[in-house]
Amino acid sequence: MPVITIRIGKGRPIDKKRAVVEAVTKAVAETLDVKPEWVTILIEEYDRENWATGGQLHADKFGPGYGKAGVDD
Amino acid sequence: MPVITIRIGKGRPIDKKRAVVEAVTKAVAETLDVKPEWVTILIEEYDRENWATGGQLHADKFGPGYGKAGVDD
Amino acid sequence: MPVITIRIGKGRPIDKKRAVVEAVTKAVAETLDVKPEWVTILIEEYDRENWATGGQLHADKFGPGYGKAGVDD
Amino acid sequence: MPVITIRIGKGRPIDKKRAVVEAVTKAVAETLDVKPEWVTILIEEYDRENWATGGQLHADKFGPGYGKAGVDD
Amino acid sequence: MPVITIRIGKGRPIDKKRAVVEAVTKAVAETLDVKPEWVTILIEEYDRENWATGGQLHADKFGPGYGKAGVDD
Amino acid sequence: MPVITIRIGKGRPIDKKRAVVEAVTKAVAETLDVKPEWVTILIEEYDRENWATGGQLHADKFGPGYGKAGVDD
């Protein structure tokens, strides 16, 4: 009964979430031999002012808005 | 000094939260022999588009609005 | 489908764990109106050298061994 | 820079872990459009006496040893 | 590649967050001998109605608004 | 009452843990204006076979033993 948490930058549309939970559930079920219906996934979204690497907020590093311009958050 | 995290579907009113933290604190204090004042509880609420079981978002499974119509999220 | 995490000091016997999951599941199910079978509980145990309050490891504050001598960890 | 946590029952061999992190990283990278090298995965393993559903420890429900006899933990 | 989570009461301005991630990254890098750029920090903010100690919500204990009037949340 | 979680590679001696909790508590207390005694820190240690980046276990990337040879885990 795996419980998966996915922490990502805030702002992705629901179709991306739909795609990631489907793909991750399949990946976990197949590699760990559990039934897909036993896999729980929780998505936790973080504002860029709540995520930092190297001591710097991502809001300062990448700008405040969410976007895909070369930024993998 | 137990630290308890309760992850639930988003949308319960404050009186439900009041009731659950009181009841869980009592349950933990009595069974683990710790003083109630040492028990910390954090409630984490998830949108249905951030919770999935069986590879399907709860927003798709149960509809977008929070409600109690037979759904235990 | 609440997911509860209980973080406690390491070393309690299984009967204490049995008691706490039973009592907490009941508390959550009754106050949040979910079926008990939908409640998942994860217990995470911490060595005293991995828990600190006030900047001091509990191993230093309370001694290395687990025990109930007035210590609520 | 997604951070993924996979919580599972304790006892899988390293090749299962190798397979799951490879498959989940691929699933996340493809569906969320992030580079695979930015995906971090943490596996957290739980003893059956630290995991409960429906108010009952999995050690009591499924027996103490880890095994695949129809049990998806 | 330490991953740090900081759980705090909701409402601090961005300059406080900027200060805490800078100071914590420095503290971790120096004491654990890792490069600062390998340190990830996630800030998780909690409403007072989602945080309880001693079985009482902080919203009830301290009032609903965030403020510093002697309250360390 | 900040609750801090520090996730690191397994194997550091207790004096490193002592140093990191002292330094992080000071950093948090000073930048967020909370009393040091309200800061709780939990250290979570991960085996290299339970930590992966880029889809590869650190046990495979860096070898099974913990060590500081240029590896920041």
The three-state DSSP-derived secondary structure of chain C is CCEEEEEEECCCCHHHHHHHHHHHHHHHHHHHCCCHHHCEEEEEEECHHHEEECCEEHHHHHCCCCCCCCCCC
Interchain proximity E25–A54, CB inside 8 Å: yes
Catalytic amino acids of B?
2
Which DSSP string corresponds to E3-58?
Answer: EEEEEEETT--HHHHHHHHHHHHHHHHHHHT--GGG-EEEEEEE-GGGEEETTEEH
Interchain proximity A43–B51, CB inside 8 Å: yes
Using CA atoms, how far apart are residues B36 and F42, in angstroms rounded to an integer? 20
Q: F71 at the E interface (CB within 8 A)?
A: no
Domain presence at residue C13: yes
* Cα dihedral value A31, A37, A38, A43, nearest 10: 90
Dig out the tokens for A49 from the structure. Answer: 């002012």
| Neighbour tally for F58: CB within 10 Å | 22
Domains in chain A: how many in total? 1
Which chain C residues have a beta carbon less than 8 Å from that of A42? 3
Query: The domain that contains D47 carries what CATH number?
Result: 3.30.429.10
Dig out the tokens for B44 from the structure. Answer: 């984490």
Catalytic amino acids of E?
2
- Strand duo D3-9 + D40-46: pairing: parallel
Q: What is the mean pLDDT of chain D?
A: 91
Burial label for C21, CB within 10 Å (0-12, 13-18, 19+), is: buried
Interchain proximity E42–D3, CB inside 8 Å: yes
Grouping H, G, I as helix, E, B as strand and the rest as coil, residue D45 is strand
Using CA atoms, how far apart are residues F36 and E22, in angstroms rounded to an integer? 18
pLDDT tier at A63, thresholds 50, 70, 90: confident
* Residue A64 near residue E31, CB atoms below 8 Å: no
Element (H, E) at F11: none
User: Looking at the predicted structure, is the pLDDT value of residue F72 above 80?
Assistant: no
d(CA C70, nearest CA chain A) in Å = 35
Chain D residue with the nearest C-alpha to that of E42: D3
Using CA atoms, how far apart are residues D53 and C21, in angstroms rounded to an integer? 9
* Residue F24 near residue F13, CB atoms below 8 Å: no
Domain range for C23 is 3-62
Report yes or no on chains A and F touching (3+ CB pairs under 8 A). no
Helices (H), ranges, A1-73: 14-32, 58-62
Chain C residue with the nearest C-alpha to that of B31: C20
Domain presence at residue F36: yes
* Cα dihedral value C18, C22, C28, C31, nearest 10: -150
d(CA A40, nearest CA chain C) in Å = 10
* Residue C40 near residue C2, CB atoms below 8 Å: yes
Using CA atoms, how far apart are residues C4 and B8, in angstroms rounded to an integer? 9
Interchain proximity D49–C21, CB inside 8 Å: no
Average pLDDT over residues A38-58: 97
Grouping H, G, I as helix, E, B as strand and the rest as coil, residue F12 is coil
Dig out the tokens for C33 from the structure. Answer: 């109106």
Model confidence over E20-70: pLDDT tens digits? 999 999 999 999 999 999 999 999 999 999 999 999 999 999 987 665 445
Residue D23's nearest CA partner among F56, E3, F48 is: F56
Catalytic amino acids of F?
2
Give residue B37's pLDDT. 96
Domain presence at residue D73: no
Model confidence over C20-36: pLDDT tens digits? 999 999 999 999 999 99
Residue D54's nearest CA partner among C4, A63, A71, E38 is: C4
Nearest-by-Cβ selection for B50 from A22, A25, A43? A43
Chain E residue with the nearest C-alpha to that of A50: E43
Q: C37 at the D interface (CB within 8 A)?
A: yes
Quote helix, strand, coil % in chain B, to nearest 5. Answer: 40, 25, 35
ipTM value: 0.93
pLDDT tier at A66, thresholds 50, 70, 90: low
pLDDT in tens, chain B (73 residues): 899 999 999 999 999 999 999 999 999 999 999 999 999 999 999 999 999 999 999 999 998 766 544 555 6
Average pLDDT over residues A42-58: 97
Strand order in the sheet with B51-53: B56-57, B51-53, A40-46, A3-9, D3-9, D40-46, F51-53, F56-57
d(CA E64, nearest CA chain D) in Å = 32
Domain presence at residue E67: no
d(CA C69, nearest CA chain D) in Å = 24
